[in-house]
Amino acid sequence: DGGITQSPKYLFRKEGQNVTLSCEQNLNHDAMYWYRQDPGQGLRLIYYSQIVNDFQKGDIAEGYSVSREKKESFPLTVTSAQKNPTAFYLCASSTDRGANYGYTFGSGTRLTVV
Amino acid sequence: AQSVTQLDSHVSVSEGTPVLLRCNYSSSYSPSLFWYVQHPNKGLQLLLKYTSAATLVKGINGFEAEFKKSETSFHLTKPSAHMSDAAEYFCVVSDSFGGYNKLIFGAGTRLAVHP
């Protein structure tokens, strides 16, 4: 079955550590996105990528980095510069460069700083 | 820029009664509009979408929404709530930037369904 796989489902990070969240899709979608979800705030866009080897900052990119070396993969690194990383992270993809048809979402990674 | 406002942060209904989740949008042109549902600790699932075709849009699980341009609204309804409908619902509008579109999410409405 086609879809988006995010791993791990739960992730714990110590203060000062970098961690990488995985996002893989087999839908042959060009565009991929990372969102952060906090209670009562909806979803906020961190980074997005429309094509391989290209990505753009979203609304809250500070403290995060991404790469897009393959069409299928869009990993997100939460760096030590992100001061409040505890959140639920969602990866999404879409069929075209537009959003007229909606996004397909992964099941999310819950990151907790310990 | 486009924006979307979900008028209720929490809605509580009894099983078998109608559901109404309210959403208003602002847009300088005819937008694409969506409703997504999220169950606890899960990703988001597309319920339905409006893309300038019929103004009454039917989605999955018996949900539907009506696009009303004069009221700039896109409210989500269901005639009879089921316990499994308890979840968080997001109203979403598409926006364009730099030649590309992106989705703008509302803050969400948490639906509780009581026996």
**Could you give the percent of chain A with pLDDT greater than 90?**
70
Q: Are strands A4-7 and A54-57 parallel, antiparallel or unpaired?
A: unpaired
- Mark yes or no for CB contact A40/B107 under 8 Å: yes
What pLDDT digit, counting tens, does each position of A64-81 carry?
999 999 999 999 999 988
Between CA B105 and CA B103 the distance in angstroms is: 6
Interface test with A, best of B103, B104, B109, B110 (most A CBs within 10 A): B103
What pLDDT digit, counting tens, does each position of A1-38 carry?
669 999 999 999 888 899 999 999 999 998 999 999 99
Q: For residue B6, count other CB atoms closer than 10 A to its CB.
A: 20
Average pLDDT, integer, range A83-107: 85
| Burial status of residue B62 (CB atoms within 10 A of its CB: 0-12, 13-18, 19 or more) | middle
Residue B76's nearest CA partner among B3, B2, B4, B6 is B6
Between CA B37 and CA B87 the distance in angstroms is: 7
Contact B89, B35 (CB under 8 A): yes
CA B80 vs CA A21, B3, B77, B83, B113: distances in Å: 39, 29, 9, 10, 11
Quick one: closest CA in B to A50, which residue?
B100
Between CA A110 and CA B90 the distance in angstroms is: 19
The pLDDT score that the predictor gives to residue A92 is: 93
Q: How far is A105 from chain B (nearest CA, A)?
A: 6
CA B22 vs CA A36, B47, B109: distances in Å: 24, 15, 9
A50 touches chain B (CB under 8 A): yes
What pLDDT digit, counting tens, does each position of B64-112 carry?
999 998 999 999 999 999 999 999 999 998 876 666 677 889 999 999 9
Between CA A89 and CA A109 the distance in angstroms is: 5
Residue A31 sits at φ, ψ, to 5 deg, of -100, 140
The pLDDT score that the predictor gives to residue A93 is: 92
Contact A48, A58 (CB under 8 A): yes
What pLDDT digit, counting tens, does each position of B9-53 carry?
999 999 999 999 999 999 777 788 999 999 987 889 999 999 877
Block residue for tokens 């341009």: B69
